[in-house]
Amino acid sequence: MSTEKLELFEVFIRSKRGLDHRHVGSLHAEDHQQALEYARDCYTRRSEGVSLWVVKSADIVASQEDDAESFYDPMDDKPYRHATYYQLPKEVDNM
Amino acid sequence: MNTEDTADLEQAFQIRIDKEEKIEPKDWMPGEYRRNLIRQISQHAHSEVIGMQPEGNWLTRAPTLRRKAVLLAKVQDEGGHGLYLYSSAETLGVSRAEMIEALQSGKAKYASIFNYPTLSWADIGAIGWLVDGAAIVNQISLQRTSYGPYARAMVRICKEESFHQRQGYEIMLSLSRGNQAQREMAQDALNRWWWPSLMMFGPHDADSAHSAKSMRWKIKRETNDDLRQKFVDQSVPQIDVLKLEYPDPELKWNENRGHYDFGELDWDEFYAVIKGDGHCNRERIQHHVKAHEEGEWVRDALKAYDAKKKARHAA
Amino acid sequence: MKLIMSDLRDKDLLLQFTLRLGDDALILGHRLSEWCRNGPFLEEDIALSNIALDYIGRARMHYSYASDLSEGEKSEDDFAFLRECRDYQNFLINELPRGDFAQTMARQLILDVFYTLQLEQMSQSKDATLAAIAGKAIKETKYHLRRSTDWVLRLGDGTEESHNRLQAGFDAIWGYVPEMFEQDEVEEKLVKLGVAVNTKDLKPEWEKQIGAILKEATIDVPQQEWTVRGGRAGFHTEHLGHLLSELQYMQRSYPGLEW
């Protein structure tokens, strides 16, 4: 029995204008063109989207959990980047 | 990695689970958690795909154009759900081809209920209402499963499945309001699908091989027996609306428990059907193998065309 | 439409023509639905079901209009399920068994090119309902054509086996093509009234487009060595009877019930 060697693609959908594309899942296809068509058939049967992206799964570079300490922890001690860090008088508090 | 490191990682993993944090594909996870998930998700995916067959059996015989369109959309959805699930299992490092091979060789299982035959149109109603109904009870619970991609697939599937159950119940309603032949058809379907639906939740908790660990890792969120009770409680009033007879003489409201009591399941039948005594065990796998093999030259053609295209591009 | 179709006979013609379009869609949709759970891989299985659903939807729109034209005497399902084999007037090519995946795609390409041309004009029909249905259908068909074109290219220029299967697929059904471009009296009259499309005029463009796609796919355009016609006269292949025995099973076994 031959194994299926169609490439794996990740699918992203913009559900309506003004919103970001969101990852929804993956599928197998021969090339980008076919992946786009299958994304339409497999992931938008209920009008879920107005725009589709497909990306070869192998082309995605992901950060590793091992990197988490050096990638994200240093951001935790910079509360001054958040609006809630600043106390303002009540009168202008919704600034 | 030495054993001490592994123990630390396992502890950190369990703490994360206990805090209701989701596990994501690139995270460290115990090998057994990964294997457990692959087993459960792929079994779930296979069930969706094999489940296309009993209902697909009536696609060319649906009684009206509306029913035909609904059934086709529904069976197609099952395929889509299989796709979402294979897709989430693939994030664990197993390929769809490997999973399909495990299904076809009998190494992987699918829900045993699909080994039962669809004999009348009412079976299409009963499957939507009861089989999808039972699946939804299970899947709602799994929306909170600890593995992120599985949980997200479940959210998507639950959203789509609600129409499946409603269309099934609607078929049963039409039949129950019809003539005697239709009511008999509906009753017969209820009688045949009721017990197998209850068995979909699996053995009693005490007898369930994977339950304890799956609960600790929050792969499963509720026990087989709790989910089964939930399903019985929601289904009995629906039988009343159809004015059909109970398929189980012991079905009775229990004021003290606040639940319906029901008779003991025939576990001998359950295991017999799993082991191969169902009407359709062989047909289901043979059908899958046949479609897969007939598709082989198509998939080969895609690969060959792609290679030629790349070669032309490079030249 | 009422203005043109005031003549009772013309109205019968319109009903007959509407049923033909409904039959074309129903029978092809039925054949395509047979692929559900039999596709070469999951994604394609799902995609083919979408196309089947488009055709079943198209059949319902036509039969529902036919029901209006019959002034409610018959329902959409009466037309779909309760006529005799000789009463169906679909193109023969639509009723042929699905064959292998190559033959299915060969038929889809032949029909998709045909429908893109025919629907474009139908959407200008003087019958507002038929024009509206065509307007919706053309959007679906453009997508169908994109898919069938891609598949014919891939199979034709894929492996030796896929090439041979596709060539055999076209050869096996080519004799059913000419009737798509012929008109009987019914359609000639409706063409004059601006309701139907003169499909004779579509043939050169159809040949041009099909020729270009087949050439790129390294497939030979078959010689017109044989021709079978008769769909519009209800003179069917033996395949339709078997299709109908499944399609009509419930309605025939349990007449007059609600489902």
The CB density around residue C172, as the number of other CB atoms within 10 Å, is 16
Residue of chain B whose alpha carbon sits nearest to that of C154: B305
Task: Provide the pLDDT for residue C73.
Answer: 94
Residue B221 C-alpha from the chain's centroid = 16
| DSSP annotation string for C115-163 | HHHHHHHHTT-SSHHHHHHHHHHHHHHHHHHHHHHHHHHHHHTS-HHHH
Calpha distance B179→B174 (Å, rounded): 10
CATH number, domain with residue A36: 3.10.20.520
In chain C the domains, ranked by start, together with CATH numbers, are: 8-253 (1.20.1260.10)
Is residue A33 a part of any domain in this protein? Answer: yes
* pLDDT tens digit sequence for B78-111: 999 999 999 999 999 999 999 999 999 999 999 9
**Nearest-CA distance from C159 to chain B in Å?**
5
Is residue A44 a part of any domain in this protein? Answer: yes
> Model confidence at C3, in pLDDT bands (50, 70, 90)?
very low
Distances from the Cα of C199 to the Cα of B15, B44, B140, C183, C191, angstroms: 71, 50, 53, 7, 9
Count how many residues are written for chain C: 259
> Which residue range is the domain that position A39 belongs to?
3-61
β-bridge pairing B259-261 and B252-254: antiparallel
Distances from the Cα of A31 to the Cα of A34, A83, B149, angstroms: 5, 45, 24
Which member of B28, B88, B303 has the closest CB to residue A5? B303
Q: Which two tokens stand for residue A14?
A: 């913009």
> Is 0.90 topped by the overall pTM?
yes
Q: Which two tokens stand for residue B244?
A: 């059909």
Calpha distance B198→B227 (Å, rounded): 10
Q: Which residues of A touch B300 (CB under 8 A)?
A: 2
* pLDDT tens digit sequence for B235-281: 999 999 999 999 999 999 999 999 999 999 999 999 999 999 999 99
For chain A, the domain total comes to 1
Does residue B182 contact residue B58 with C-beta atoms inside 8 Å? no
Is residue A92 a part of any domain in this protein? Answer: no
* pLDDT tens digit sequence for A33-88: 999 999 999 999 998 899 999 999 999 998 877 777 777 777 788 888 888 888 88
The CB density around residue B144, as the number of other CB atoms within 10 Å, is 15
What is the predicted ipTM?
0.95
Q: Which residues of A touch C47 (CB under 8 A)?
A: 37-38, 41-42
Task: Provide the pLDDT for residue C7.
Answer: 66
Does residue B68 contact residue A30 with C-beta atoms inside 8 Å? no
* pLDDT tens digit sequence for B145-198: 999 999 999 999 999 988 999 999 999 999 999 999 999 999 999 999 999 999
Helix ranges restricted to H, B217-266: 224-242
Calpha distance B51→B49 (Å, rounded): 5
Calpha distance B284→B14 (Å, rounded): 39
Amino acid letter, B153: A
**Range with lowest mean pLDDT among B171-175, B208-212, C120-124:** B208-212
Helix axes C8-33, C128-156, angle to 10 degrees: 30
Phi, psi of B310 (to 5 degrees): -65, -40
Q: Which residues of B touch C49 (CB under 8 A)?
A: 72-73, 75-76, 79
Q: Which two tokens stand for residue C7?
A: 């003549």
Is residue A94 a part of any domain in this protein? Answer: no
Residue of chain B whose alpha carbon sits nearest to that of A65: B27
**Nearest-CA distance from C36 to chain A in Å?**
14
Which member of C46, C143, C150 has the closest CB to residue A34? C150
Calpha distance C10→C192 (Å, rounded): 11
Is residue A73 a part of any domain in this protein? Answer: no
Is residue A76 a part of any domain in this protein? Answer: no
Is residue A15 a part of any domain in this protein? Answer: yes
Residue C196 has pLDDT above 70, yes or no: yes
Is residue A78 a part of any domain in this protein? Answer: no
* pLDDT tens digit sequence for C138-191: 999 999 999 999 999 999 999 999 999 999 999 999 999 999 999 999 999 999
Whether C43 and A38 lie within 8 Å, measured CB to CB = yes
Task: Provide the pLDDT for residue A4.
Answer: 64
Does residue B303 contact residue B119 with C-beta atoms inside 8 Å? no
Task: Provide the pLDDT for residue B59.
Answer: 98
